[in-house]
Amino acid sequence: MPTPDELYDDANRLKDQGDFAGAAATLLGIVAETPTHSLSHSALAVVMHKLGKFDEAIAHAKKVVELEPNDPFSFAQLSVICQRCGRIAEAEDALARNKMMSGGH
């Protein structure tokens, strides 16, 4: 049985080939079995945005922040996803948190 990381690599290959639905299905399978696999949630944020599923994209980006609260990149990704999904106030809040964590002002 493949590991979550091996499945994640498969999902990335699908995403790179433009098969966003296939990538989403693989990634959703990973997080169903391993809900703490933050890389899969991060990839799901991107893939769900590509599929036009903005609420799901934001939910997965927020899950990454929940799983990796001390990683400034988590907030950077949340900011980008929120911005791309038209949620500007949330994007600005996440960016401010990123800058604060990164030592910016």
Confidence of residue 49 (pLDDT cuts 50, 70, 90): very high
Alpha-carbon span 6 to 94, nearest angstrom: 30
What is the identity of the amino acid at 41?
Answer: H
Evaluate whether 77 touches 58 at the Cβ level (below 8 Å). Answer: no
Hey, CA dihedral for 69, 30, 14, 48, is it positive or negative? negative
Statement: residue 105 has pLDDT above 90: no
- Quick one: pLDDT at residue 69? 94
pTM of structure: 0.92
Enumerate residues 6+ apart whose C-beta is below 8 A from 99.
Answer: 105
Amino acid 102: pLDDT = 82
Mean pLDDT of the chain: 95
CA distance linking residue 85 with residue 105, whole number of Å: 25
CATH of the domain at 70: 1.25.40.10
pLDDT in tens, 3-28: 999 999 999 999 999 999 999 999 99
d(CA 59, CA 77): 12
Number of domains in the chain: 1
Range of the domain at 26: 4-101
Cα separation, 34 vs 13, whole angstroms: 20
